[in-house]
Structure 1
């Protein structure tokens, strides 16, 4: 009798895998759907990373009468955002695709504009305004991904995007309140 390492193994989806090869992703979501969701998550990751970077930049460079409050608020937000980036990238991997991870990829995928050197000329009100706009853009991207994931029956991605929506909507509200 031969052991399983000598025989081809069925991956559960009818595909035969040879011993030592990588099994096909078979999580109950069709490959095309997984690819579309992963592409949307990649765009979300790029938007979220760009917003994280901008928030961290503003934390470092805020000045004026609101310095202490904003320095602390921005730190709280960028710290939370940093942790969430890993969850998004790991979800892309769980779907069977590589997560983007370079500035070039993020710039290509993001819907947020790159604004280098901006902090030299921007007061705290403009920083807050830009973070409101950025958080709202991240929300719009999350909603698009959530809808596609829901159509594909990808409940973990729906849950992840729901959590991110809740967080970024709250950030947009809190920041917008500073400008009223």
Structure 2
């Protein structure tokens, strides 16, 4: 059955492609954050272990919301590691970095997700796609706050 929600097929496809990149970045950040939760060591262990758990749990919910929006627009959501690796701008960490380096890498990951979300906004705005605009705004708010909190742990 055709989709008739007031957004053209061309715009829905473009928005879904942007959201697929956001999904890939978010899932890669989820996996990195979960990895760091498991492997963090040092004097900040308990604080970071708990903080990373809160962050990866939030990301797990976010990837579902992003994928469901892609589906609501009538496009398939990517869902494999190879698809995510192709679409994501985030790089996987190598080895087990120090706790401080984990924080730095997560700040960079949070900021990359924000940039991806921001890049989608022009086509979303042009198409008057308020549900996607709302999703993107919420995601940017969460990632900006998380980046700030992580960055604050590095301040002298």
* Same fold by TM-score greater than 0.5: yes
Question: Post-superposition shift, 1:77?
Answer: 0.5
Within the alignment, does 1:157 sit opposite 2:132 as a pair?
Answer: yes
Please name the residue that 1:82 is paired with.
Answer: 60
Please name the residue that 2:152 is paired with.
Answer: 177
Within the alignment, does 1:136 sit opposite 2:111 as a pair?
Answer: yes
The CA RMSD measured in Å over matched residues stands at: 0.7
Please name the residue that 1:95 is paired with.
Answer: 73
Within the alignment, does 1:113 sit opposite 2:91 as a pair?
Answer: yes
Distance 2:75 2:20 in 1: 10
Aligned length: 155
1:52 match: secondary structure: helix
Question: Post-superposition shift, 1:148?
Answer: 1.9
In structure 1, stretches of 5+ residues that fail to align are 1-22
Bigger radius of gyration, 1 or 2?
A: 1
Task: Work out whether residues 146 and 162 of structure 1, in 8 Å CA contact, stay in contact via their aligned partners in 2.
Answer: no
Distance 1:113 1:55 in 2: 12
TM-score of the aligned structures, taking structure 2 as reference length = 0.98
2:15 to 12, 37, 40: 37
Instruction: Summarize deviations over 1:113-146 as a string: whole Å, max 9, x none.
Output: 1234x21xx1100000000000000000010112
Please name the residue that 1:16 is paired with.
Answer: none
Please name the residue that 1:125 is paired with.
Answer: 100
Distance 1:179 1:173 in 2: 10
2:76 match: secondary structure: coil
| Structure with the bigger percentage of helix | 2
2:36 to 58, 64, 85: 58
- Compare relative contact order (CA 8 Å, sep 6+) and give the higher one, 1 or 2: 2
Distance 1:175 1:159 in 2: 24
Distance 1:160 1:82 in 2: 15
In structure 2, stretches of 5+ residues that fail to align are none
